[in-house]
Amino acid sequence: MADSPDQTVVDTLRDQVGSFQRGLSVLEVLARHPAGLSMTEVAEMAGLTRAGARRLLLTLVGEEFATLDGRQFRLTPKLLSLARTWLQGTTLWVCAEPAMRALAAQLDEACSAAVLSGRDIVYVARVPGRRIVSVDLHVGARLPAWCTSMGRVLIADLQDAERADLLAGLHMEARTPRTITDPAALAAELAQCEREGFSLVDEELEVGLRSIAVPVRDRGGRVVAALNISTQSTRFTPDGMKREILPPLQEAARRIEDYFALE
């Protein structure tokens, strides 16, 4: 007979190692106080006795995850190296997916991330929405950069020479009656995107589809990807997207940027 859900929970709790849990709480306390803490302060913040905190802290020092300077305990870079080792074994967008899923659930819309590849964008992560649009998108899918919100965010960050080279000889064929096909108008859109920090594309890729995108930057400040929310035009007006979608989209991008900072 299979275990009941309640029994599974009981077994899981029984298998947990209390001393390891307390050690993790000490790590969390030290992580929140990079300037260091005394043994007494760690014990109070972690809810431990002084003796218990002492054993755990000295274990961390012995394993070189912490250092003792006078009476102050501090974490060492070894913990960061451990995080980097884990990150090297997985893709950044696997790490970023929880933030994208949370955003898609919050807004009840599709959330995507893309990078620039030549004159196209390539989707590197996507959380589909419940509402169906006719554009079939998946990881690895390509779309022209110049008429998509993520593409414009990525083009806007290019150096002047790179941008001019990308746009030179670009065949801007109208995909809908609203698609911008005039080079001067596109240049103005890119300048506005660079100035405002986001791009909103209103039914230029597909009739009935609106999307808004923001940049994702590495620790050097360069735009390395773009994050967007796409929605049906009947769901949000352009002003409504700026008001209701843009702030949480920007916050999700900031959370994803934290992973780039660890690379």
Contacts of residue 163, defined as CB under 8 A and 6 or more positions apart, other chains included, come to 155, 156, 190
- Asked whether the predicted pLDDT for residue 117 surpasses 50, the reply is yes
DSSP collapsed to 3 states, 163-178: HHHHHCCCCCCCCCCC
CATH code for the domain of 237: 3.30.450.40
Question: Which of residues 25, 54, 83 is at a domain's end?
Answer: 83
Together in a domain, 68 and 163: no
Confidence of residue 131 (pLDDT cuts 50, 70, 90): low
CATH number of residue 24's parent domain: 1.10.10.10
110 and 151, same domain (yes or no):
yes
Q: What does pTM read for this prediction?
A: 0.65
Q: Is 236 found in the same domain as 196?
A: yes
Write down the pLDDT at residue 258. Answer: 83
- Domain residues for the domain of 35 are 5-83
The pLDDT mean for the chain works out to 85
- My answer on whether 66 and 173 are in the same domain is no
Per-residue model confidence (pLDDT) at position 17: 64
Q: Is the pLDDT of residue 178 over 90?
A: yes
Evaluate whether 210 touches 231 at the Cβ level (below 8 Å): yes
Please tell me the distance from the alpha carbon of residue 108 to that of residue 111, in angstroms, as a whole number. 9
Interatomic CA distance for residues 143 and 93, integer angstroms: 19
Indicate the number of domains in the chain: 2
Q: Are residues 168 and 257 in the same domain?
A: yes
* 218, 125: one domain: yes
- Do residues 73 and 163 both lie within one domain? no
